[in-house]
Amino acid sequence: MQAEKHAGAAPKRRARRLSLKRREALTGWVFVSPALIGFAIFTFGAIIRSFYYSLTDYSLLSQPNFVGLANYIRAFTKDQYFYQYFANTFYFVITLVPIVLVCSLLLAILINKKAGHLTKAYRVALFLPSITSTVAVSMVWLWIFNPDMGLLNNFLTVLGFNNPPMWLASTEWSKPALVIMRVWQMCGYYMIMFLAGLQTIPESLYEAAEVDGATPLQKFFRITVPMLANTTFVVAILLVIEAFNMFESIFIMTAGGPLGSTSTIMYYIYEQGFTNYDMGYASALAWIFFALIMVVTLIQYRFRNEQGGE
């Protein structure tokens, strides 16, 4: 009889446990439902709607008129500025990514010491630009790059340069000027990421290398660089995305000029959508831009996997 009671109680216990798990799951869904509903309406819904707009002629002043792939065809075959702005975008990517990567790593190595008061001050000073508003930073650098009364050209004149660059007013120097400003602003953030990676490397590896007679350069390339591979990969992906998405500094400092020399695809999307009110074409450009970033990211992942496999 007792065995029969135990046999009958076991399914009841399982049923109670299952009911409890269901109630816990339901409670969890209730708590996350506001965020999910907000995402569905304001993010996922907006993404789907932008794709629909990319297939229409929509100017905010009239109803969307379905035109199929006409906006995409226009971008690749009829828009005289599309390839110029794509080239500008890639210029910022191929200059900013390696420069910031190398500079932030070197800064992290320089301050990777036992944290004394002076080292902490350096860390704060180097990190501060990255958490400062890009608008505020851009306004300061506008004054620095001023060709007539700017700090940089005054300094170059003191050094003996008779014809210093016009910087943001020059089609030749406008892009390098923006790169200088963004390198100064971005390095501190990625320096902290490299610093965190450096502090996970066991000191015993460097001590063993010293015993074997390794030079500082050998320790850097044989220990530091390989041990920071994962950190470098993450930093590279974040840098590529950030370089592709340059907007605020261009909007404040150059407005895409002079003569479109600093206009990027991101700025062009803004210009088409909110200056020309051509939302259909702006949406198509945004989806082309999304596809480009996705392809570049997948290439980085593929390269990382191949390197890991070796």
Nearest to 208 by CA among 196, 218, 195, 198: 218
Single-letter amino acid code for the residue at 66:
F
pLDDT at 28: 78
Nearest to 263 by CA among 94, 67, 26, 88: 88
Angle, helix 279-309 to helix 45-54, in steps of 10 degrees: 110
What fold does the segment set 82-262 form as a domain? MetI-like fold (1.10.3720)
pLDDT at 307: 64
pLDDT at 115: 54
- Per-domain residue ranges of the chain: 2-54, 82-262
pLDDT at 7: 53
Residues 6+ apart with CB under 8 A from 134: 185, 248, 249, 252
pLDDT at 46: 86
Peptide bond into 258 cis (omega under 30): yes
- Render each residue's pLDDT in the chain as its tens digit; 310 residues: 444 555 555 666 666 776 777 888 788 788 888 888 887 888 888 889 999 999 999 987 788 899 999 999 999 999 989 999 999 999 999 999 999 999 999 999 888 865 556 677 878 888 889 889 999 999 999 999 998 888 999 999 998 888 899 999 999 999 999 999 999 999 999 999 999 899 888 888 888 988 888 888 888 889 999 999 989 999 999 999 999 999 999 999 999 989 999 999 999 999 999 999 999 999 999 999 999 999 988 888 887 777 654 4
Q: What is the pTM of this model?
A: 0.84
CA 9 to the chain's CA centroid: 58
